[in-house]
Structure 1
Amino acid sequence: MPEKPATVDEDQAAVLAAEQAHLAESRDALRRMREHAQSLNADVAADWVSRQFLESLLDQRVAALADHPDTPLFFGRMDHDGTGEETIDLPATMYVGRRHVHDGDEGKPLVLDWRAPVSRAFYQAGPADPMGWRRRRRFGFQGGALTAFEDEPLDGRELGPSTILTDEIERPRTGPMRDIVATIQPEQDEIVRAELARTVCVQGAPGTGKTAVGLHRAAYLLFTHRERLARSGVLIVGPNRAFLSYISAVLPALGEVRVDQATIEDLLGAPLAEERAEVAALKGDDRMAGVLHKALWRLIRKPEEGLVVTRGASRFRLADHEVREIAASLRGTSRYGNGRASFAQRLAHQILVRMEQRGEAPDDRVQDQVARSKPVKEIVEQVWPKMTPEQVLFMLLTDADMLRTAAKGVLTDEEQALLLWAKPYRSHRTAKWTAADRALLDELADLIERTSSLGHLVVDEAQDLSSMQLRALGRRCGTGSATVLGDIAQGTTPWSARSWEDVLRHLGQEGEVTELTLGFRVPGPVLDFAARLLPVVAPELEVPRSLRAGVQALTIQRVTDLDEGAVQAARAALAREGSVGLIVPDAAIKAYSAALTGAGVEHGVLSPESAETDRLLIVPATLAKGLEYDHVIVAEPAEIAAAEERGLARLYVVLTRAVSTLTVVHRADLPAQLLS
């Protein structure tokens, strides 16, 4: 076993005092680094635009150097004796922390950023491969104060689990998600440090830290490819605003303040209407991409007449078949909008050829004038009409003949009938688009004008996105890479993915799939109980296992009064340290809230827009995905399972949100799968 944290022994007390002195020195150095950054002036820039840009960079630098008093500045240390080839040019002692800190006078590194190449040894070195290091030291903290240390000799001896590491993983939590930089495991570190060019897909069972791994990979890539990603950008996509609020503090705590976060609705547009699940699933099918492509390009018409352009006393003509040939040569060779602009230029070029044949010498300015002339504009509008995505989709969903032509050989007659609006809106301007429609509109928008690409995209809970939504995200990393996170077993939408290979294909990315099955957060009895559902919701997945014994972590209570049972369970959970989540069927939120209010129990209600800060939260079952609470109470599992088509998958999600204890309160029989 690693040496126990020291508090009494004089030698250990002296070591602890020396480490506390190093922490104080490091904090003082960080303060000076921040003061120096604040003293820099953007007035040296040559112009206003450059000055604004420089001011923005300086502000970001100052924000990145913030010292969070409740967060340890370093969490580990590595030592070597200079005899190993791998470490011969490295300092004998290396402190590893959230950001680089150096002595301003001597330039001596006091803390090395956990993302630096040399820091990899802190996570990867072990008895089998010490990587040239002699000892790893972990530190225990209370708030921002160093309180203990624990040494792990890297001399080949197999040791038991680290007490400090275990305590940090199990530490009760309140508020937003914390970073895991001090507890990253070797298999997680391999994913975090994957090269930018690689797209990585992580199939992670509950509690394996897949979300944290994705966020830490974003932080690592920003550190390693700072300049490149500063230009192209990094985006985190999560399932809802509550989830994004929950994870919002992780990257700033790691010194990264320039990362955007969004939901799929933020990117594609919020839905204004709902529709039947089978219709939404059909619209989410990737076959719709071919239907939309065909529908758009069939809007190009044959010219009714040729083109006549008058220049002074001269008239120049193109026959209708010549106009048709020009349009045909451009069709499908570029985006629809670019093709339309090229069509006007090609027509103008042919008019210039006619002018040259008559002995004139027109230049490029004349071609542009002709391309903008009224006769050319009229024939372009007649042959290659300007279209918006809304116009095209409106026509497709209201015109049975157009849909039949575009969907021929792709969709059945029954599927076409599902797509057609029974009561169409008056125009595309008044149409109320659904979530599935938004993905179709985005597809059309890209067919008309190219979507710009980011440098890196992190997609969490990717298994819940439709094929068309995945295509929309894929366009946003078309020239970049992605980190794809999720759990096939937690798929709860009508279009949930059945394989990660399909997800990567729809994203347009070639990547490798890594499966994380070792849980660090969810206690063993809780994970085992929830895993009884896996043979139904995801039989192809390996059953996850937990590192934590979690004695007395699971309690199942059958009650006669659900409201009273939930209130009593909430009071018992509040008597312990940590956050409490009461997860209930969506339709029963008001009833449970009224019961808690009537019993005088303070609480909040989680909404889709933001994560509340109350210690006890009522959580709708449909919002629980991705969230964690120290103590979870699940009310009436059977009702949660019966509420939707993939209700057992939703129940699997709900049952795996607990970090310390899970209490199941039920009046109706539990689902049969949980009794096996």
Structure 2
Amino acid sequence: MTVQSAYQEEKDRLAASIQDIESQLRAIGPRYTGDDFTEQMLDLQREERRQRLEIAHREPYFGRIDFEELPNGNQMPLYIGKAGVAKQGSNELLVIDWRAPAASLFYSFTGGEAPGTFDSPDGEVSGYIHLKRNFMIRQGELVRLVDSYVRGQEEEAVTDEFLLYRLGENKDNKLRDIVSTIQGEQDRIIRADRAKALFIQGVAGSGKTTVALHRLAFLLYQYADRMRAERMIIFAPNRMFLDYISGVLPELGVGDIQQTTFSDWAVELLEHSVRLSDPSETMAYWFEERRTAEEIEAASGRWKGTMAFKAMVDERIAAFEQSIVPTVPFSPLDRLELSPEQMREWYDTDYGEETVMKKRDRLANRIRRWFESELKMRGVADKKIRAKALTKFNAFVKKIPSFTAVQLYASLFQGKQAAAAVPKAIAAETSARLKQGIAAAEDLAPLVYIHLQLYGLDKPAFDHIVIDEAQDYSPFQLEALGLCQRTPSMTVLGDLQQGIHAYTGIQRWSELMDLFTEEQAAFHELNRSYRSTMEIIEFANLILGEMSGGVKPAVPVFRSGDPVETVRTEESDWLASIDRTVREWKTKGAYETISVIGRTALECEQIHGYLVGRGIEASLVQSRQPSYGGGLTVVPVYLSKGLEFDAVLIADAGESAYGPLDAKLLYVGCTRALHMLKLYYRGERTSLLGEDA
């Protein structure tokens, strides 16, 4: 079949598919607005079907596989799309959902004459692939068709042509789904077993965040009877990043998954009993003021995130629990006494795995039931005597210790006993802050942990947890989150080479993985970078030199572009140079998103003010910003992580801006670029870039 005839055949098939989908949409009818419960449930089912059909209508499918199942030899074309659709009035599938077992062939098969296999509910299915075809469909029109494999074709297949075409597209202000270009190693992660803590080390641009979001969509499809969207949660590094990724799950037909930051979630769980100290102050301290390696290592954030500190917290909780059962008898009336031994027996044997404060409250209620029963058995009806007994009960119970999470945590840093265990500077600083009702970011994990141990989770346990930028998490944070699940089911992703929060984060994945048994955890590494050109990736790898944490350097896909430029500029001409480059890129019209990345917030304010003052429309990214608007953006390097831009200008890569401890920061800045990267520097060029050419 010629290319032209294949193209026409697919155009006709597409038109027929869209017509079928439109007919099904019309048949659904209007929403039900009455009060009948059965009709309401049926309406919800119709609405879910409508949403799937609307997704399919925008882009019915993106791939096709011609599969000959063995041993019967039946060959059939399978069209793969974001939503499965059956033909109207038939059980025959018009489109196979990308999450279905058979669709895995589209992602796992990379060529060759050997049979392909996939796991179905009835067991393993194998067969020959005769054709693998990619489509790009926009507004109901077939824009592009690429055959990445044709069985028996002598010429080498253009395996990566479609991928390279998609990677070469410009980006806007939102992360997009990758269902049409999921690679084999990504697909294995997406379809991995749910009952594990899955750790993903992914280099910049490897698609790890998108893979995690697609994994959620897959889990909801594969385990529809056991997992629910409202019992899943995504922890992102900041609110702006949440806005950036907000379009992916709805486009995959998934809603109701909670998306938040650990800080916001923790403050809400603690019922706003504390307010979080301004994170911009923390970032200014560590990123805008130059800190030594010794200061970073001694930071309270790292210490409070360790398992050693958790052990101290556990000791304090255990001591509190031990003090709950009274050591003196309770005597509401003369010659009526409840012994401490009886109260201890009730506490130890009757309340099972209840949380500490629930056990305390149950003990208090048990004591009350005891004395009320005794009064009844003794025939005590006198109201004054009963009132006196109740007063004694209230006074007795009031002496049973009771703590909120904040109160118990604060007690760690107060008194002579605490002073011996906690560094004095940390104790004084933390105690003073908590008295004002303020918690630092590093206080949240122990506060959440204590709250959950005392009171438990007042909502259903999480079916699945996604943690993005997990290299910035502490072991204590994962321990706290672990209390929110019955069994581990997590997707934990990040990049040790982007671990810029060295004052709180980890150095090796084993620090987090060791919290789980060998059966509970699995590790995957994504080394291929799909974001940037070869020139940008190779340049960025040189900045890091030797990789830390045992991870491998990024391997770019074969997508070549412009060489990376490093240009010296005089102090007097620095802002004007930035202005000229930005104008040149905007005039060129080749880039939808451009970013000027500065070293500090103050530097970015200066650059932004200069550009705006000369009539250039630009946005300034600041701490706690809720959204990213695209276009031309000026952003401090430590807030750029997770974002990507068509073109990036590093405002100053001088030695005074990036010293030996700042390699990961500069690496993050450079790997934001998809197609173009340029670096200015004032004075001496940073030694991280090697010798000046």
TM-score (norm 1): 0.85
Once the 2 structures are TM-superposed, how far is the Cα of residue 396 of structure 1 from its aligned partner?
2.5
Query: Could you say if the C-alpha distance between residues 301 and 127 of structure 1 is closer, same or farther in structure 2, counting changes exceeding 3 Å?
Result: closer
Aligned to 1:666: 681
| Runs of 5+ consecutive residues of structure 1 not aligned to the other structure | 1-9, 361-368
Aligned to 2:522: 512
1:471-620 map, 5 Å: 471-493=479-501, 494-506=503-515, 510-535=520-545, 538=548, 540-560=550-570, 561-574=573-586, 575=588, 576-586=590-600, 587-607=602-622, 608-620=624-636
Aligned to 1:287: 308
Letter paired with 1:673:
L
Distance 2:96 2:564 in 1: 41
Query: Could you say if the C-alpha distance between residues 623 and 143 of structure 1 is closer, same or farther in structure 2, counting changes exceeding 3 Å?
Result: farther
Once the 2 structures are TM-superposed, how far is the Cα of residue 64 of structure 1 from its aligned partner?
4.2
Question: Match of 1:28, SS?
Answer: helix
Conserved in 1, the CA contact under 8 Å of 2:53 and 2:85? no
Shifted more, 183-192 versus 286-295: the winner is 286-295
Once the 2 structures are TM-superposed, how far is the Cα of residue 204 of structure 1 from its aligned partner?
0.6
Once the 2 structures are TM-superposed, how far is the Cα of residue 186 of structure 1 from its aligned partner?
0.9
Once the 2 structures are TM-superposed, how far is the Cα of residue 660 of structure 1 from its aligned partner?
0.9
1:111-260 map, 5 Å: 111-128=95-112, 129-131=114-116, 132=127, 133-142=129-138, 144-151=140-147, 152-155=149-152, 159-230=157-228, 233-260=231-258
Out of 325, 336, 345, the position equivalent to 2:356 is: 336
Deviations 1:32-85 (CA, angstroms, capped at 9, x unpaired): 444445546374744xxx77777666555544443488x5321111113x4633
Once the 2 structures are TM-superposed, how far is the Cα of residue 373 of structure 1 from its aligned partner?
5.2
Once the 2 structures are TM-superposed, how far is the Cα of residue 120 of structure 1 from its aligned partner?
0.8
Query: Could you say if the C-alpha distance between residues 112 and 44 of structure 1 is closer, same or farther in structure 2, counting changes exceeding 3 Å?
Result: farther
Distance 2:140 2:603 in 1: 41
Once the 2 structures are TM-superposed, how far is the Cα of residue 177 of structure 1 from its aligned partner?
0.8
Once the 2 structures are TM-superposed, how far is the Cα of residue 433 of structure 1 from its aligned partner?
1.4
Conserved in 2, the CA contact under 8 Å of 1:29 and 1:102? no
Aligned to 1:447: 453
Shifted more, 278-287 versus 514-523: the winner is 278-287
Question: Match of 1:171, SS?
Answer: coil
Distance 2:392 2:32 in 1: 56
Distance 2:225 2:35 in 1: 21
Conserved in 2, the CA contact under 8 Å of 1:632 and 1:662? yes
Conserved in 2, the CA contact under 8 Å of 1:400 and 1:420? no
Once the 2 structures are TM-superposed, how far is the Cα of residue 218 of structure 1 from its aligned partner?
1.0
Aligned to 2:266: 268
Once the 2 structures are TM-superposed, how far is the Cα of residue 290 of structure 1 from its aligned partner?
2.0
Distance 2:339 2:242 in 1: 59
The answer to whether residue 61 in structure 2 is matched with residue 74 in structure 1 is yes
Letter paired with 2:62:
F
Aligned to 2:12: 21
Conserved in 2, the CA contact under 8 Å of 1:206 and 1:656? yes
Distance 2:73 2:163 in 1: 25
Aligned to 1:92: 76
Question: Match of 1:228, SS?
Answer: coil
Deviations 1:321-371 (CA, angstroms, capped at 9, x unpaired): 654666677899642112203322554576589789x799xxxxxxxx99x
Aligned to 2:291: none
Question: Match of 1:92, SS?
Answer: strand
Question: Match of 1:229, SS?
Answer: coil
Distance 1:56 1:620 in 2: 45
Conserved in 2, the CA contact under 8 Å of 1:635 and 1:664? yes
Once the 2 structures are TM-superposed, how far is the Cα of residue 598 of structure 1 from its aligned partner?
2.5
Aligned to 1:420: 428
Once the 2 structures are TM-superposed, how far is the Cα of residue 614 of structure 1 from its aligned partner?
3.7
Aligned to 1:3: none
Deviations 1:120-146 (CA, angstroms, capped at 9, x unpaired): 111112334442221111123456521
Query: Could you say if the C-alpha distance between residues 321 and 617 of structure 1 is closer, same or farther in structure 2, counting changes exceeding 3 Å?
Result: same
Letter paired with 2:408:
V
Letter paired with 1:582:
V
Question: Match of 1:22, SS?
Answer: helix
Conserved in 2, the CA contact under 8 Å of 1:295 and 1:403? no
Conserved in 1, the CA contact under 8 Å of 2:229 and 2:255? no
Distance 1:636 1:320 in 2: 70
Deviations 1:609-635 (CA, angstroms, capped at 9, x unpaired): 333324111122111111111111111
Letter paired with 2:145:
F
Distance 1:485 1:72 in 2: 30
Deviations 1:364-420 (CA, angstroms, capped at 9, x unpaired): xxxxx99x955444333313x2211111122333x132424xxx7xx4x6x254223
Question: Match of 1:134, SS?
Answer: strand
Once the 2 structures are TM-superposed, how far is the Cα of residue 95 of structure 1 from its aligned partner?
0.8
Query: Could you say if the C-alpha distance between residues 619 and 424 of structure 1 is closer, same or farther in structure 2, counting changes exceeding 3 Å?
Result: closer
TM-score (norm 2): 0.83
Letter paired with 1:499:
R
Question: Match of 2:20, SS?
Answer: helix
| Runs of 5+ consecutive residues of structure 2 not aligned to the other structure | 117-126, 268-274, 286-295, 380-385
Deviations 1:275-334 (CA, angstroms, capped at 9, x unpaired): 786122222223222222222332326747421235xxx863124565466667789964
Query: Could you say if the C-alpha distance between residues 432 and 56 of structure 1 is closer, same or farther in structure 2, counting changes exceeding 3 Å?
Result: farther
Question: Match of 2:487, SS?
Answer: coil
Conserved in 1, the CA contact under 8 Å of 2:230 and 2:258? no
Distance 2:136 2:49 in 1: 28
Shifted more, 232-241 versus 502-511: the winner is 502-511
Out of 424, 427, 435, the position equivalent to 2:441 is: 435
Percent of pairs with identical residues: 25
Conserved in 1, the CA contact under 8 Å of 2:63 and 2:81? yes
Question: Match of 1:421, SS?
Answer: helix
Distance 1:674 1:175 in 2: 30
Distance 1:217 1:65 in 2: 21
Shifted more, 535-544 versus 648-657: the winner is 535-544
The answer to whether residue 309 in structure 2 is matched with residue 309 in structure 1 is no
Conserved in 2, the CA contact under 8 Å of 1:460 and 1:485? yes
Distance 1:453 1:302 in 2: 29
Distance 1:476 1:492 in 2: 28
Aligned to 1:41: 32
Letter paired with 2:307:
D
Aligned to 1:298: 319
Once the 2 structures are TM-superposed, how far is the Cα of residue 453 of structure 1 from its aligned partner?
2.1
Conserved in 1, the CA contact under 8 Å of 2:405 and 2:447? yes
Once the 2 structures are TM-superposed, how far is the Cα of residue 119 of structure 1 from its aligned partner?
0.7
Distance 1:179 1:594 in 2: 35
Conserved in 1, the CA contact under 8 Å of 2:34 and 2:40? no
Letter paired with 2:150:
P
